[in-house]
Each structure stands twice: as structure tokens, then as C-alpha cells.
Amino acid sequence: MPNQTRVVIVGGGFAGMSTAHKLVQQRGIHVTLIDKNNYHQFTPLLYQVATSAISIDNVATTFRSYFEGKSNIDIKMAKVCSIDPKTLTVHTEEGESYQGDVLVLAAGSVVNFFDTTGAMENSFPLYNLNDAERLRSRIILAFEEADRNPKLIDEGVLNFVVVGAGPTGTEIAGALADMINISLPKEYADLALTKAKIYLVDYSHAVLSAFSEESQKYAAETLHKRGVQLRLGLLVRSVTDRYALLSSGEKIASKTIIWAGGLQAAQLAQECGLVQGHGGRIEVQPDLTIKGFPSIYALGDFANMPGRLPQLASVAQQSGYWTADNIIATKKGKPRKAFQYKDKGIMAMIGRNAAVVEVGKKRRELTGFFAFLTWLSVHSVLLSTLRQRIEALMQWSCGYFSKNNDFQTIDRIKDAHIIWKK
């Protein structure tokens, strides 16, 4: 098609999806979306998959179903391994190359273990759907192992160590507490669940350090009341298949060490030949293009966003819509605009009937049951499809009133099992 602008988007996370979503509404633009998976994952709810609260189908949406009926987008399931900035070409591990008039680099992030000894080999990260499935199997397997052989409890089989007290770590610690205190006692009647322990470790001296002091205090007190033991102001020095060693010298016996301790840009950032900044992320200009390459955008967790914005889904999503607007503006001969993030607030679920919500720039604070309902409402609306929204609400409602976590299938037995060493 004459005058058609070819846009190649690398990555189908919140940034890449929002860019594609807006561009496919435009005439004269063709999108090629490349991702190593065939689905978009709703990362804020991965911890609920890991703790058996909702099904996998409600956090994953295939790209082809999402863009069904759109003739100006091609979906390619491939892993991009390098790019040529000068020719605006991306190369994949599978051997294909894709060239565009515009490149959008939204390859996202991967777990950062900060060179912690043994963490990569012995901990369970929680940053993608594969992580969530693996961790869910590990958590349920721990209770099955303890039920089969109660002597393992003294070796730490029911000790859960969560590294990182940001939203991800705080939310899964609270969800684990709900499982142990509410749902599992009915299913493991003969198991001494009172011996199960949850530890939340962070180098910061506060839970949810990005939140207000009032929210931090509420979160810490709520977790403490539910049995979560806080280890704040401490680092994890090393991780083995039997324990986590803290900077205080404390050894916590555990076979389930959950890593929610930070992110870094995906490996592709190192292969781009572009300037990297904090966390390995690509440096961008105010309009999200890369200096010297006006037809290449980097956004979301893959980029060092202007103003050092937090790595939130809302930031990634807004940057995607903004990038699409700038691509459309360029096509029409209009100037690009500097990215302006609209801060709508932050929120975190602490557990049953407990959440913290801070709304808008002025951070109006909500805690407790009303914040809990607000969190559920907002996240149900943000899910990709109507079916997912309805099913998530139904599953949350059933779980709330029945006090059961229904999705406890151990389907990743090999990945979940840790060989016990004496």
C-alpha cells in the first residue's frame, strides 16, 4: 500500500500491546508484533495464580484472539536476539528478520538477582506466567510433602521466604498468609499448619517503600497480625536449596524462597548497541525516541523513562499509547510530544479485606475493606477481555465466600520439586 508506515513492535507486554492497540485503529499503518510467547500476560495478578486464587486463563490473552479481525497487524511468535538500528531491522533466534519504518522496543524486563549467591539456582521468581505456574506447583507440593512426612516441617518445608517487600512481595506474602490461615486448614485437617511460617525480607526499612508512611504502617501491621514475620533493613546474602542466609547472619530454613527483589531490562537491551542506563534499560529522549535514531522508540520496563518513573503497568501502558500518538503525528507531518505520565495512583493488596490505595498525585489514602474492594474493581476492569473480567469476579466471589482456593493443581511437578539433601 502506498505511503503505508510499517511499525515493528518488539514485545507484547503492556507497553507493546497498548502501542499496537492504538495503531491498528489507523489507516495507512501496518503493525508487526513480535513476542517470544503467543500471549499477553496480566502481570499484576500473577501472584494470584501462584497462590491458587484465580485460573491461568484469566491472566493470559493470546495476541491473535485480541487482534482478531484486524487486517493490518501480523503476529510473530519469535525471540528477537538483536537489532540493526541503522536499517531499522530486528533479527530473531529462529533466523527471520523484520524491517520497518519505525521500531518500537518494548521487550520488557527480567528478574534481577543482584549477583546474590545461589539465588538464580534455588529461588522462585515471580515475574511471568511460567514463574507463576511453577511457584503454584511448588507451594502446593510443599503442603503435600509435609502432609506425607511431617518430619520435613522441622527442615523448613512449610517455611516460605519472600525476598522483596514491594507490591509483588507484599501481595504474595499476604496471599500465602490467607492460604495458611483460611483455605488450607479445611483441606489439610491433619497437618500442623500453625507451624508454617512466612518471612518477608527487604533491604529497605519499610514495607511498600514507594507508598506513604501511613500505608506502610498499615501494611506492616496487617501482615504481622496475619503471621508474616518481617525482616526489614536486611539483605539476602545467599540462597541454597535448604536455607536463605541474611546479612544479619540469620539462616532461615526453607525450600520455597520466592524472589520478588527487583528487575532489569531484558537481555535484548545488551544486544542493541544502544546506550543503557540504570538497570540496563535503554536511555530515551523526552518523546521516548532514542538519541540519533528518531524512528526508534524504547518504552515500558525496557527504557529509562524520563523522570525515573516507577516500573508500573500504568507507566508502560501510557507510554505505549503516547508512542502510538507520536507515530501517528509523524505520519501526518506533525511534531512529536514529550511523554507526560498521568499519575493515577498506586495500590497493593495485603490480603482478605485488606489493601492500600493511594489515588492521584496528592495520594489520597484508602486502607482496609474499601481499599480491598477498590483494588478488585480496578484490576477486574483492566483485564484484557470481557470473559476474563466476568470470570475473575466470579472466582474472587466464590473464593471469598467459600474461603477456598480452587486452583491447586500441581501441573509443574518437575520444576516444583527440589531434591532434599541431607
Q: Nearest Cα to 167, choosing from 329, 287, 47, 9?
A: 47
Does the fold of domain 113-261 match that of domain 5-111+263-331?
yes
Sheet holding 97-99, edge to edge: 80-84, 89-92, 97-99
Q: Which residue has the cell 476492569?
A: 381
Buried b (16+ CB within 10 A) or exposed e, 109-132: bbbbbeebebbeebbbbbbbbebb
Integer Cα distance of 139 and 375 in angstroms: 24
- Domain range list for the chain: 5-111+263-331, 113-261
The pLDDT of residue 407 is: 65
C-alpha distances in Å from residue 4, one per residue of 1, 28, 29:
6, 5, 5
What predicted TM-score, i.e. pTM, was given to this entire model? 0.93
CATH of the domain spanning 5-111+263-331: 3.50.50.60
Integer Cα distance of 219 and 225 in angstroms: 10
The pLDDT of residue 420 is: 41
* In this structure, CATH architecture of domain 113-261: 3-Layer(bba) Sandwich (3.50)
Weakly modelled stretches of the chain, pLDDT under 50: 419-422
The pLDDT of residue 2 is: 59
